[in-house]
Chains A and B, each alone.
Chain A
Amino acid sequence: MNETLFQILVIVGVLLGTVSLAAALIYVERKMLAVWQQRLGPNRVGPFGIFQVLADMIKIFFKEDWIPPFVDKKVFILAPTIIMLTVLMSFAIIPFAPGVVVADLNIGLLFFFAMSSLGAYTIVLAGWSSNNKYSLLGGVRGAAQMISYEVFMGLSLMGVIIQTGSFNMTDIVNAQKDVWFVVPQFIGFVIFMIAGIAETHRLPFDLPEAESELISGFHSEYSGMKFGMFFVGEYLGITLVSCLITVLFFGGWLGPSFLPPFIWFIIKMFCFILFFVLLRATLPRPRYDQLMSYGWKLLLPLALLNVLITGAIVLSAQ
């Protein structure tokens, strides 16, 4: 009985925690960008502007839920829910601390891949149903980008899986007791991180949105809470990728015992989130074809090489 209660607590905690974290990230990102851009950032609502998130939420919830008359209504409504759904589902496999995991699946990583593949639908459907040329271009770009970067994402993690011998996330963390996978799997880490940014389509890989070219691309026509769902979905995506990097390459909750495991996890995760924000503040956006050729001509061979070498070393060690 107690175990069930604990499990329910974990589920509710993860759900509420991640969603409110994603909301809080709006503030974190705006404030950090401001610091790096010689500005003040939000500072009107509450001390240091910390209630800005609240104000934003109230505003976005009370905005008119408007659907343009020329869109494909059903698909238009469906599209933003997919990204929320798939990203939230992915959080189920993340072990935040020993035993604190929604579903300790033995196919954990595969489940994540499945969910992130489904996430591509949100861009394609939003871009298509908006019935707008800019949205369509964004949707087409997004589909191509996400599908190709998924390939390298999967391949980049093969090294980790070979070394652990399991898809289970808890096993992966436990396998890093001696040395974090970022050391033996450095190439895999770099590729996973790049692919992760591409999957969450953030700058520098925000081609489906490309504000200065496509005017927000696939979500041009969205407003109110439907737009908010894309927005929160994006921040959830960053959190998810940061969590995964922590679990797969930086030993998850592992760390010196003066802090509890859960805190270690959070600290590591936040470092990566901030790194993503910093990237956004620094880099320009490559062109669409440059992004694609970079992926297929550089990342794919590198990822394959990584799998080959890891496999060979593991085999020879047996």
Chain B
Amino acid sequence: MSGYTDIIEKIQNQFPDAIVYQQPTYDEFPTLWIGKDSIVKVLGFLKKDTALRFSQLFDLSAIDEQARNNRQGQPASKFTVVYLLLSYSRNQFLRLKVALDSDKPSAPSVTSVWPSANWYEREVYDMFGINFEGHPNLRRILMPGYWKGHPLQKAHPARATEMGQFKMPEEQMLEQQDILQFKPEEWGLKSQSANNEDFMFLNLGPQHPGTHGILRLILQMDGESIVNIVPDIGFHHRGAEKMGERQSWHTYIPYTDRVEYLSGVMNNLPYVMTVEKMGGIDVPDRAKVIRIMLCELFRISSHLVWYGTFAQDLGMMTPVFLTFYDRERLFTIIEAICGDRMHPNWFRIGGVAQDLPVGWEKLVADFVNYFPPRLKEYDKMVMKNQIFKARTKGIGVYNTEEAIEWNVTGIGLRATGLEWDFRKKQPYSGYDQFDFEIPVAVNGDCYDRALLHVEEMRQSIRIIEQCLKNMPSGPYKSHNALTTPPDKKHTMYDIETLINHFVNVTWGPVIPAGEAFCNVEASKGNNGYYLISDGSTMSYRTRIRTPSFPHIQFVPQYSKGYTIADLMAILGSVDFVLSDIDR
């Protein structure tokens, strides 16, 4: 990563009073507090400036600062809006913060700079009650319309027992049903076309086989062709971020497994890496390679689910059974190593939970030999099928600029021709030691996205093979005092270690105050955790940056004019998971 002094200089030259404070963070991203009035201008400048080109709004979230003790000289603020930008040309992240120091917090909307800020701002409004001036349609997005209060505010209860008894009288039920009724005018949609013909509004979901989960899409249709789409999300919202604020650093790991439930431990990785960054924990090599191996096994597992269900979306019956059969074989390996199949909750702060079992090499080697011929078979059956090609080629096309503008990451971005994979660009957990390629396509259509999924599985097999051949020996867990569960070796000889051990086991480790963000190339796109520690045993704020959220926001932009059948192909090729959208 190149330095960032020139960024600050440029901003200061352009907007002398904009930067209020420069905050040090554990992730060493430049973190600048910007005045509320100049944030839109600064963001616009950062996006457009040719030397900076912070072209992607990677994440937008907020922090309720009202209960925070260790603010370490940050400007006074009750609510802070956080913008995380990514520059592809500089391969650099930049974090901007805006302090909102009033009881009725309100910030200017940045939808004029990035249209993708739309859903993020709605989420911040929903969760924190922060108003965004100039937002086109500021309404709740994850919580139901009748919800009282804003859940991520510190004052909002975090447990059901704090909320009083649950009752649902009939009139309340009717009222809530009424809120779910779709009114086109609220979304700026017309009920009639220019020549006075009625549009059909088709309610696709929340229960629909093509949406792969409880996603609701409201289609404005003219015959069978789609005029517009309004996605309605939040049916799978479980408050994963709120739960992060009441779980210890260690006990939150199982929740991360379920954020993107097809990729299992791959979700653990960004979380534990962020905590390790804050705690200054070095992970031993063996643990790193075990992590990589399990992540790649889960990448294949997730892509296999995608492969089968995508083919099924296009009307093919058989692939889903075959790919799930392969997935079962994968789960056998994962179960032998982790003791669980889908959500093994296997990574730990400072390493992994246990060493690899005796005989793991044979299981993995068997799969490495077994899988590539199967992939070839699937190629013949699916990818080379003429009807499959006719259904996916030239459908759902977007280019690299649009993808970056709408915060698309992962395969969706690489399918447009940009070779960008964090495993290569900002290698984490030792990925730089591995020999693999980043498959890239050029057309940005459904077929290309499908092709990349298949190629990625081949590359994952390559990585797993290298893990198998070069598994380092040594400890599977760090000796750092913050490692969870802590090392017990010296406890019987040394009172200091015993006290540390006792505290860490009973309360969990105390992570030093500060903040960090870590990001991995997950199976669906870039998955990242932005954690703030207030110097306690729990996270002060857990922000989960998931890839599917912006991907679904982007779908309506490039699905107009296609038919329902094409929409199914598009949704399938996007490869989203509802838990990843709603968290």
Quick check: which of A111-119, A234-242, A277-285 contacts chain B, the rest being far away?
Answer: A277-285
CA distance A288 to B390 in the complex (A): 12
Contacts of A213 in B (CB 8 A): 210, 564-565, 568
Which residues of chain B (318-371) have a CB below 8 Å from chain A? 318, 321-322, 325
CA distance A287 to B570 in the complex (A): 13
When the two chains form the complex, which single residue of A212, A280, A290 contacts B209, counting CB atoms closer than 8 Å? Answer: A212
Measured as residues with beta carbon below 8 angstroms from the partner, the interface class of chain B is 20 to 34
Contacts of B565 in A (CB 8 A): 210, 213, 285, 287-288
Given known A-B contacts A37-B318, A37-B322, A287 and B313 have beta carbons under 8 A apart: no
When the two chains form the complex, which single residue of B314, B317, B388, B563 contacts A281, counting CB atoms closer than 8 Å? Answer: B317
Q: Are B224 and A215 in contact (CB under 8 A)?
A: no
Which residues of chain A (199-216) have a CB below 8 Å from chain B? 203-204, 206, 210-215
Q: Are A282 and B563 in contact (CB under 8 A)?
A: no
Given known A-B contacts A211-B209, A290-B390, A285 and B322 have beta carbons under 8 A apart: no
B315 at the interface (CB under 8 A from A): yes
CA distance A210 to B381 in the complex (A): 20
Q: Are A284 and B321 in contact (CB under 8 A)?
A: no
Q: Are B318 and A282 in contact (CB under 8 A)?
A: yes
Q: Are B208 and A288 in contact (CB under 8 A)?
A: no
- Binary per-residue interface labels of chain A (42-61) against chain B in the complex, 1 for a CB within 8 Å, 0 otherwise: 00000000000000000000
B113 at the interface (CB under 8 A from A): no
Given known A-B contacts A38-B325, A39-B321, A283 and B564 have beta carbons under 8 A apart: no
When the two chains form the complex, which single residue of B311, B312, B316, B390 contacts A287, counting CB atoms closer than 8 Å? Answer: B390
B573 to chain A minimum Cβ distance, whole angstroms, is: 13
CA distance A211 to B208 in the complex (A): 9
CA distance A281 to B322 in the complex (A): 12
A202 to chain B minimum Cβ distance, whole angstroms, is: 11
Q: Are A212 and B312 in contact (CB under 8 A)?
A: yes
A211 to chain B minimum Cβ distance, whole angstroms, is: 6
CA distance A282 to B316 in the complex (A): 7
A141 to chain B minimum Cβ distance, whole angstroms, is: 8
Q: Are B315 and A210 in contact (CB under 8 A)?
A: yes
CA distance A33 to B320 in the complex (A): 13
Chain A residue at minimal CB-CB distance from B382: A284
CA distance A134 to B311 in the complex (A): 21
Contacts of B388 in A (CB 8 A): 284
Contacts of A186 in B (CB 8 A): none
When the two chains form the complex, which single residue of B203, B321, B568 contacts A212, counting CB atoms closer than 8 Å? Answer: B568
Contacts of B200 in A (CB 8 A): 133
B391 at the interface (CB under 8 A from A): yes
Contacts of B385 in A (CB 8 A): 283-284
Which residues of chain A (280-302) have a CB below 8 Å from chain B? 280-290
Contacts of B387 in A (CB 8 A): 204, 283-286, 290
B123 at the interface (CB under 8 A from A): no
A66 at the interface (CB under 8 A from B): no
Chain B CB within 10 A, most for which of A33, A203, A284, A287 = A284
Contacts of A206 in B (CB 8 A): 315
Q: Are A287 and B566 in contact (CB under 8 A)?
A: yes
Chain B residue at minimal CB-CB distance from A282: B318
Contacts of B318 in A (CB 8 A): 33, 36-37, 281-282
Q: Are B314 and A284 in contact (CB under 8 A)?
A: yes
Chain B residue at minimal CB-CB distance from A290: B390
Q: Are A137 and B208 in contact (CB under 8 A)?
A: no
CA distance A221 to B406 in the complex (A): 39
B202 at the interface (CB under 8 A from A): yes
CA distance A210 to B204 in the complex (A): 14
Given known A-B contacts A37-B317, A37-B322, A282 and B381 have beta carbons under 8 A apart: yes
Chain B residue at minimal CB-CB distance from A37: B321
Q: Are A214 and B564 in contact (CB under 8 A)?
A: yes
A216 to chain B minimum Cβ distance, whole angstroms, is: 9
CA distance A298 to B133 in the complex (A): 57
Contacts of B321 in A (CB 8 A): 37-39
Which residues of chain A (153-201) have a CB below 8 Å from chain B? none
Contacts of A38 in B (CB 8 A): 321-322, 325
Contacts of B315 in A (CB 8 A): 203-204, 206, 210, 212, 283-285
CA distance A133 to B311 in the complex (A): 25
Q: Are B202 and A215 in contact (CB under 8 A)?
A: no
CA distance A289 to B223 in the complex (A): 12
Contacts of A203 in B (CB 8 A): 315, 317
Which residues of chain B (203-234) have a CB below 8 Å from chain A? 203, 208-210, 224
A249 to chain B minimum Cβ distance, whole angstroms, is: 25
CA distance A38 to B203 in the complex (A): 36
B531 to chain A minimum Cβ distance, whole angstroms, is: 39
CA distance A8 to B424 in the complex (A): 78
Q: Are B316 and A283 in contact (CB under 8 A)?
A: yes
CA distance A289 to B321 in the complex (A): 28
CA distance A286 to B566 in the complex (A): 10
Q: Are A287 and B202 in contact (CB under 8 A)?
A: no
CA distance A214 to B567 in the complex (A): 12
Contacts of B391 in A (CB 8 A): 284-287, 290
CA distance A168 to B316 in the complex (A): 39
- Binary per-residue interface labels of chain A (125-162) against chain B in the complex, 1 for a CB within 8 Å, 0 otherwise: 00000000110010000000000000000000000000
When the two chains form the complex, which single residue of A284, A285, A288 contacts B563, counting CB atoms closer than 8 Å? Answer: A288
Contacts of B316 in A (CB 8 A): 282-285
A16 to chain B minimum Cβ distance, whole angstroms, is: 31
Chain B residue at minimal CB-CB distance from A283: B387
A298 to chain B minimum Cβ distance, whole angstroms, is: 13
When the two chains form the complex, which single residue of A33, A36, A212, A288 contacts B224, counting CB atoms closer than 8 Å? Answer: A288
Q: Are A289 and B563 in contact (CB under 8 A)?
A: yes
Chain B residue at minimal CB-CB distance from A286: B387
Chain A CB within 10 A, most for which of B203, B322, B387, B563 = B387
Contacts of B210 in A (CB 8 A): 212-213
Contacts of B568 in A (CB 8 A): 212-213
When the two chains form the complex, which single residue of A36, A215, A284 contacts B311, counting CB atoms closer than 8 Å? Answer: A284
Contacts of B312 in A (CB 8 A): 212
A285 to chain B minimum Cβ distance, whole angstroms, is: 3
CA distance A242 to B200 in the complex (A): 39
Contacts of A288 in B (CB 8 A): 224, 563, 565
A160 to chain B minimum Cβ distance, whole angstroms, is: 28
Which residues of chain A (257-310) have a CB below 8 Å from chain B? 280-290
Q: Are B390 and A286 in contact (CB under 8 A)?
A: yes
Q: Are B317 and A33 in contact (CB under 8 A)?
A: yes
CA distance A204 to B391 in the complex (A): 13
When the two chains form the complex, which single residue of A210, A280, A287, A289 contacts B317, counting CB atoms closer than 8 Å? Answer: A280
CA distance A2 to B388 in the complex (A): 57
Q: Are B390 and A215 in contact (CB under 8 A)?
A: no
- Binary per-residue interface labels of chain B (371-410) against chain A in the complex, 1 for a CB within 8 Å, 0 otherwise: 0000000000110010110110000000000000000000
Contacts of A287 in B (CB 8 A): 390-391, 563, 565-566
Contacts of B208 in A (CB 8 A): 215
CA distance A210 to B566 in the complex (A): 12
Contacts of A284 in B (CB 8 A): 311, 314-316, 382, 385, 387-388, 391
What would be 5 A-B contacts, judged by CB atoms less than 8 Å apart? A37-B318, A38-B321, A137-B564, A206-B315, A285-B565
The 4 closest A-B CB pairs, nearest first, are: A285-B315, A37-B321, A284-B314, A284-B316
Q: For the A-B complex with A211-B209, A290-B391 known, give 15 more contacts whose Cβ atoms are closer than 8 Å.
A: A37-B317, A37-B318, A133-B200, A133-B202, A203-B317, A204-B387, A213-B564, A214-B564, A215-B209, A283-B315, A283-B387, A285-B316, A287-B390, A287-B563, A287-B565
